[in-house]
A and B are shown apart, each in its own frame.
Chain A
């Protein structure tokens, strides 16, 4: 039988507010244990929660970015359960009436676009951390994370493969960073996912029994866990068994999921509206103000890149995957345009924008991306800034550098040579393209004189021989000649 995997994701994005969801203490990561937990966070007798306005604004921002409905009135509820790192004995979350409902996220899998529907996004507070490994014979509790604001984003079961799930998670991850509501740091747990996975016979429209896989904190684990889980479920069903609804944990070391608790062992969270917090009301005018402050969104930017810069659809889509790439591209393109205008004395005369844009895009998607991958850096951490790249591109456009020498300068720049300045590197390395045609003419005639057999081959119609002659000239000039100019001279001199 052919099986179809059905996946819905619950993502937790830690909102990058300065203070906590319900208290004034700081949210910075990595402070000494329990130094960022105030009376409210540790739930002393008598303390009360006050909702963080900034966190609410960020939730609204998310809702607007995904085209969701922003509920004018939403309710904070208490989710009751006992755990040592949950100081109040309940977590404040939103249950029946979340702040954001509906909305969609667009994903691309192998160039194919697909729209994933969102169920809801709600505000809640994080718990603290239990430190089981750091101590012998007892558990440490760090409440620094307690009451850190989270936005839980729940998708509909619209995903059909691990790859789609990863594409969705990546798109969501990019979006929360794009609109600056989450730093997206997965190692620090700022963005993590739970996956609801079920399988059904292909073509069926009934959902199978699902299992929830908890706390997947990397895209790779997400993919592996879903793949393992779908396989596990299919095997059970094919053996005539049935799936038990349960919560499972992914063990990355063994690359498998394991049962954590079954439905029967599930908590009764006894949700009820938190009487300490009034219903959360957001004014239409406030939502309007947040909308005004919203950055341009990826979809809008992608089509603008196609129209304004005449970039191919593919380039525009890849460049708008993250705000870092998009901003880098746009800055570098504009700076290159400005510099080309000044350098070439073309003021008033329009340089060809689409050419500059495509060249910039090629560099970003090519050499820059490759270098980032190699050094495992984010684009925000790239040692070559948009301005530095623009200076390099300007030298390529004014023919000071050719493709090869430009790459050499870029590598040097990446390593910080010459203070990362293209001109300094060109100077130091003597890479300035030979534009003195007298010198080039002399070298070309030397090469023709020294290679009579290739000359003869060329003249007898062997194009390969010509390439060899160009190569010789390039070698003599140590690559500093413009290959186009070289072939021009050679062809003229060899002309019958």
Chain B
């Protein structure tokens, strides 16, 4: 039953052939058996999960179930869930039990979904390998010597290892798409403002966006139908009518214009990645899509722009972790400045400290114009590049990540190489555009390759429809990592 998709499980729950309690118990027992191997989950609460499952079964019994009622969903530990330890992968919040639910969590709860557990992640979502967590690195189910990508690596690995049928993650510079690619699953980062950020622990506010992770495009649509929606508590939440993200699932891809940015296909990505991506583009051709060459001339500036803006916002967003009101506080300190210094020195890991330092520096008097203001200008240029490209095509396709999963520890000492992992994903965050990754092949070592699809604002349903047509014609998304079958 762990191999079934959310859609299939939902049908079985609706037909009362399966109860949510059985389903939840099944996943919990798989997690018990396999979590040691992958380190996907930080917190499990069997009692709470089963309580929700029982409630879901009662709801189903009255015939008031919805698509997600009774479906266990893993939650990245960046979402505040009431009564649950919510750590954000950091020692700083290693004792923080959230007294409130994030908007996304509220919506999942209201839909009757079961919180299966809180997944491991890079500390404060800062990383592309899920190695910076206070709770230890997550391992890629395709090869435990490699990383699952990050920062939503726990969610990605859990879905890939069939420890959860679906999960929620967040994406600031690729944190949903890149781990989805490296772990061989699907992930969608929606248009900025579609999913409320309320209760999602902030990394870089102008870039952060929550989104679904699952094994099929159809499942992503089911999750999106619950996660998306206006929330007055988030000033950047977009006030739009409700939409059905599955509405274009059945639509033929024929005639769709797929833009291939020359910068995505230039040298830089591993040959195995390019080969798989090109094969996917050819597959789109078979589905009747046209391809057009487009250009994103400022894309090369995305990584530097991102590494000014994201740390700048993070340096301010993380100032609240001071040991005064909640979270970790250094056990011994002489006075107030010492309390701050020791708490933050001991509570944050290296990558977080590095970014706080960078962010503090670029916002400092005398440097602000040269870095922050300049980066904002380039950010607008990058958004304009996309606007130009979308005059000529419906969606853009290319690789999600330049490489397949790399080995644990391989890039930990070289932050710049680590940062370049997100070269293809960052532009969509800077422009606020929706982007997704779906499996499109494997390299020689048997590690998955992800295909990235970027759409215009609010084109999620269109992108999901295209991905679904592709998944009808291919079976990459059905492949199961070794040892996760039984």
Please give the residue numbers on chain A whose beta carbons come within 8 Å of chain B beta carbons, in ascending order: 39, 42-51, 78, 80, 82, 84, 87-90, 141, 268, 270-272, 275-278
* B320 and A88 form a contact (CB under 8 A): yes
- Residues of A within 8 Å of B318, CB to CB, are 89
**Told that A50-B235, A88-B319, A89-B319 touch, could you supply 4 new A-B pairs with CB distance under 8 A?**
A45-B80, A46-B79, A80-B316, A275-B313
* B320 and A43 form a contact (CB under 8 A): yes
Q: How many residues of B contact A (CB 8 A)?
A: 43
Chain B positions 188 through 231: 1 when the CB is less than 8 Å from some CB of chain A, otherwise 0: 00000000011111101110000000000000000000000000
- Residues of B within 8 Å of A88, CB to CB, are 319-320
Q: How far is the CB of B145 from chain A (nearest CB, A)?
A: 33
Interface residues of B in 361-389 (CB under 8 A from A): 363-365, 368, 372
Can you list 16 A-B pairs with a CB-CB distance of less than 8 A? A39-B100, A43-B320, A45-B86, A45-B98, A46-B80, A47-B199, A48-B233, A48-B235, A50-B232, A50-B234, A78-B316, A80-B319, A82-B322, A84-B324, A87-B320, A90-B316
* CB contact under 8 A between A268 and B365, given known A44-B99, A46-B198: yes
Total cross-chain contacts (CB, 8 A) = 95
7 smallest beta-carbon distances between A and B, as pairs:
A89-B319, A275-B206, A270-B363, A275-B205, A46-B199, A45-B201, A43-B320
* B320 and A89 form a contact (CB under 8 A): yes
* A48 and B198 form a contact (CB under 8 A): yes
Please give the residue numbers on chain B whose beta carbons come within 8 Å of chain A beta carbons, in ascending order: 79-80, 86, 88, 93, 96, 98-100, 102, 197-202, 204-206, 232-236, 312-313, 315-316, 318-320, 322, 324-326, 336, 340, 360, 363-365, 368, 372
Q: How far is the CB of B194 from chain A (nearest CB, A)?
A: 15
- Residues of B within 8 Å of A87, CB to CB, are 320, 324-325
- Residues of A within 8 Å of B200, CB to CB, are 46
User: CA separation between A49 and B372, bound complex, in Å?
Assistant: 22
- Residues of B within 8 Å of A45, CB to CB, are 80, 86, 88, 93, 96, 98, 201-202, 320
* CB contact under 8 A between A141 and B235, given known A46-B198, A89-B316, A275-B313: no
User: CA separation between A44 and B365, bound complex, in Å?
Assistant: 28
* CB contact under 8 A between A48 and B234, given known A82-B319, A89-B320, A275-B206: yes
User: CA separation between A87 and B325, bound complex, in Å?
Assistant: 8
* CB contact under 8 A between A50 and B233, given known A39-B100, A268-B365, A275-B205: yes
User: CA separation between A275 and B236, bound complex, in Å?
Assistant: 9
User: CA separation between A84 and B322, bound complex, in Å?
Assistant: 8
- Residues of B within 8 Å of A39, CB to CB, are 99-100
Which residue of B201, B319, B360, B365 contacts A46 across the interface (Cβ within 8 Å)? B201
* CB contact under 8 A between A90 and B324, given known A46-B198, A48-B235, A278-B235: no
* CB contact under 8 A between A82 and B102, given known A44-B326, A45-B88: no
* A278 and B236 form a contact (CB under 8 A): yes
Q: How far is the CB of B91 from chain A (nearest CB, A)?
A: 14
* A82 and B340 form a contact (CB under 8 A): yes
Q: How far is the CB of A193 from chain B (nearest CB, A)?
A: 26
* B100 and A44 form a contact (CB under 8 A): yes
User: CA separation between A272 and B359, bound complex, in Å?
Assistant: 11
User: CA separation between A44 and B232, bound complex, in Å?
Assistant: 18
User: CA separation between A316 and B80, bound complex, in Å?
Assistant: 60
- Residues of B within 8 Å of A42, CB to CB, are 325
User: CA separation between A268 and B340, bound complex, in Å?
Assistant: 17
User: CA separation between A90 and B96, bound complex, in Å?
Assistant: 21
Q: How far is the CB of B104 from chain A (nearest CB, A)?
A: 10
